[in-house]
Amino acid sequence: MTVCLYHGLDQVPAGLGPTVVTVGMFDGVHRGHQALLGHVTREAAARGVPAAAVTFDRHPMEVLRPGSHPLLLTTLSQKVALLGEAGVEVVLVLPFTLELSQVPAREFATRVLFEVMGARAVVVGANFRFGHKAQGDIELLAALGRERGVDAVGVTLHTDGREVISSTRIRSELARGDVQAAARSLGRPFALEGHVNRGDGRGRTLGVPTANVGVPTRLALPAMGVYAGHVAPGDGTWLPAVTNVGVSPQFGGTELRVEAHVLDYDADLYGRRVSVSFEHRLRGEEVFASVDELVTQMQEDIRQSRKLLGAPAAS
């Protein structure tokens, strides 16, 4: 679905019209978010208006408690695209600043949700808090909404039968390398995106050329190790790949890198913005007795990845 994207309140046109709106960070747009967004789209369809979301350009803790903020599961562009896939038609991205954090809850609801976004209904999680010192909640939204004929809908948090699905939980799953658990929580394989930078060329020397994917430092990564998954080179296709997350200890490396070997692919990826998915963990990052043993293991990683991903053997 094509998303009408606005960066900042001043970009939203006066003629936007009524919407059904939700608010949140929506990091990862995981299954819990998707369940909430399903309520938003159904409420919007019932009223014949667009489904809308208000989100932020960074995690609030990055501003409120620098250094304690969590790593993110998605870039902003990924998040907007995923919101669109969930049926959201209008997205307002607010720069999260110290000034915004000090806006009282009543003022935020009135100015942003009711006036700028034209809310006819506001749909949020049952534990939703907003405004200065998180003083706003669903009860305040309901009270403010009654004055304007706007419904406030609180949605029970989504669980998988064991615990609530949350961005925090997914970060924990990734930190231990359990990308299959993360995929179940997300509703899709975990994927990151970044530009392919020039590396040291060692992979090509070893016969296994890799794309060195530059990932913003604010993004979460799976635990160091080797993974089977796919790479999207930007042309709409997803190609089978083996990806290493680590520091190349075999060669005394110290810089954390994401290096993807795309199976049976010879085109130049340098400078492209690519997406990399992590679908199966093969092993941890290791130091071998010799470079020859490392190459042998890399070939075994490729063989296992072909099997796990259903990729044909090399011709």
Q: What is the pLDDT of residues 235-262, one digit of tens each?
A: 889 999 999 999 988 888 878 999 999 9
Closest alpha carbon to 168 in 32, 299, 314, 270:
32
Structural domains of the chain sorted by starting position, each given as residue range(s) with its CATH number in brackets:
4-155 (3.40.50.620), 190-309 (2.40.30.30)
| DSSP bridge partners of 232 | 275
Residue 169: what pLDDT? 96
Count CB neighbours of 253 within 10 A. 14
Closest alpha carbon to 201 in 193, 212, 192, 190:
212
Please compute the mean of the pLDDT values over residues 43-65 and round it to a whole number.
Answer: 96
Answer for the pair 276, 193: CB distance below 8 angstroms, yes or no.
Answer: yes
State what percent of residues in the chain have pLDDT above 90.
82
Task: Give the Cα separation of 144 and 138 in Å (integer).
Answer: 10
Closest alpha carbon to 56 in 100, 105, 90:
100
Q: In which band, very low, low, confident or very high, does the pLDDT at 192 lie, cut at 50, 70 and 90?
A: very high
pLDDT digits (tens, 9 = 90+) for 12-28: 999 899 999 999 999 99
How many residues are there in the chain? 315
State what percent of residues in the chain have pLDDT above 70.
99
Query: Which residues, other chains included, contact 146 with Cβ-Cβ below 8 Å and sequence gap of 6+?
Result: none
Instruction: Please say if the pLDDT value at position 91 is more than 80.
Output: yes
Please compute the mean of the pLDDT values over residues 59-84 and round it to a whole number.
Answer: 94
The DSSP code for 296 is H
Task: Give the Cα separation of 53 and 63 in Å (integer).
Answer: 21
Residue 206: what pLDDT? 78
**33-39: which pairs have CB atoms within 8 A and are 24 or more residues apart?**
33/86, 34/86, 34/158, 34/187, 35/155, 35/158, 36/123, 36/124, 36/125, 36/155, 36/158, 37/83, 37/86, 37/87, 37/88, 38/86, 38/87, 39/123, 39/153, 39/155
Residue 201: what pLDDT? 67
Query: Which residues, other chains included, contact 49 with Cβ-Cβ below 8 Å and sequence gap of 6+?
Result: 17, 18, 19, 20, 120
Instruction: Please say if the pLDDT value at position 229 is more than 90.
Output: yes
Pairing of strands 239-246, 4-7: unpaired
Task: Give the Cα separation of 315 and 309 in Å (integer).
Answer: 17
